[in-house]
Amino acid sequence: MKILVCISHVPDTTSKINFTDNSTKFDTAGVQFIIGPYDDYALARAIELKEANPGTTVTVLNVGQADTEPTIRKALAIGADDAIRVNAEPTDSFFVASQIAEHAKGYDLILMGRESIDYNSGVVHAMVGDLLGLPSVSPVMKLDVEGTKVKMTREIEGGKEQVEANLPLVAGCQEPIAEWKIPNMRGIMSAKTKPLKVVDAVSVTTSVALSKFELPAPKGAVKMIAADAVADLVAKLKNEAKVL
């Protein structure tokens, strides 16, 4: 089985978000970049499938500029065999999906996170599926391959459903599909020499354009209420915050 895992290179979940250049650029100062947490689940499941099925290979793909390579190397250290970097700024979902679709032909299983944690659109898997004419399922909490069939548990609002589809398939993953893997020293050493192919992006006509960023209005200071004055809280929720 050939597995492709698509990873995003995103600010660590604890990052403070700021913008520069008159609110038109993301401020990378002091920001640590990581493999998207949902993509990390997809990668962990791919490695599990590789370990359980001899002959399975795992390729990681990232759409990004040269600064994403440490993130790609980390995915190789976790256990992927080789990597592809599409040398381009990931501008929007359709652009990224088009790049993935270009390289995903021939893979049996195309995994990624349910969404990237920067733009949160949560549609790249659906778009890749559409572009390649393959089924796509997300968010997947459990995924097992049985011959050419894939059995999945998908989360829905207020519950879950059991879904089945044939390979090849695109899936957007989330917890608890697998436990995140931490690279060990041997993995880190071998990652340095694993193949990382850099390719040019295919040309895509984008239909969206970012005009500016905005931060939420700052929150006022918390109002503390004594533990024995809950009636006071109820009155404030009703009359001051007007949420009851």
Partner 1 sequence: MSALVFIETSEGKAKKSSLEALCYAKALGGNVTAIVLGPADAASLQDLGKFGASKVLHAADSKLEKGVIQVYASVITKAMTDENAEVLVLANSSLATPVAAKVAIKTGASFASNVVELPDTTSGFKVKRSIYTGKAFCWQELKNAKKVIAIKKNAAEVIEIGGNATVTPYSVTLADADFNTTILSSEKATGDVLLPEAEIVVSGGRGMKGPEHWNMLEELAKTLGAATGCSKPVSDMNWRPHHEHVGQTGVKVAPQLYIAVGISGAIQHLAGVNSSKCIVVINKDPEAPFFKAADYGIVGDAFDVVPKLTAAIKAAL
Report the site for partner 1 in 98-157 (rule: CB under 8 A): 117-123, 125-127, 129-131, 134-139, 141, 154-157
Q: Which residues contact 55 (CB under 8 A, 6 or more apart)?
A: 1
Residue 198 beta carbon to partner 1: minimum distance, rounded to whole angstroms: 27
Per the structure block, which two tokens stand in for 185? 């020293």
Q: Is 101 exposed, middle or buried (0-12, 13-18, 19+ CB in 10 A)?
A: buried
Q: Which residue has the tokens 């004419």?
A: 133
| Nearest to partner 1 of 198, 208 (CB atom) | 208
Q: How far apart are CA 39 and CA 26, in angstroms?
A: 21
Torsion of CA 164, 167, 169, 171, to 10 degrees: 50
- Site for partner 1, residues 220 to 239, rule: CB under 8 A: 220, 222-228, 230-231, 233-238
| Nearest to partner 1 of 58, 97 (CB atom) | 97
Binding partner 1 (rule: CB under 8 A), the pick from 30, 55, 147, 158 is 158
Binding partner 1 (rule: CB under 8 A), the pick from 30, 55, 176, 218 is 176
| Nearest to partner 1 of 29, 226 (CB atom) | 226
Binding region for partner 1 (CB under 8 A) out of 58-66, 80-88, 162-170, 191-199: 162-170
Q: How far apart are CA 96 and CA 42, in angstroms?
A: 17
Binding-site size, partner 1 (CB under 8 A): 75
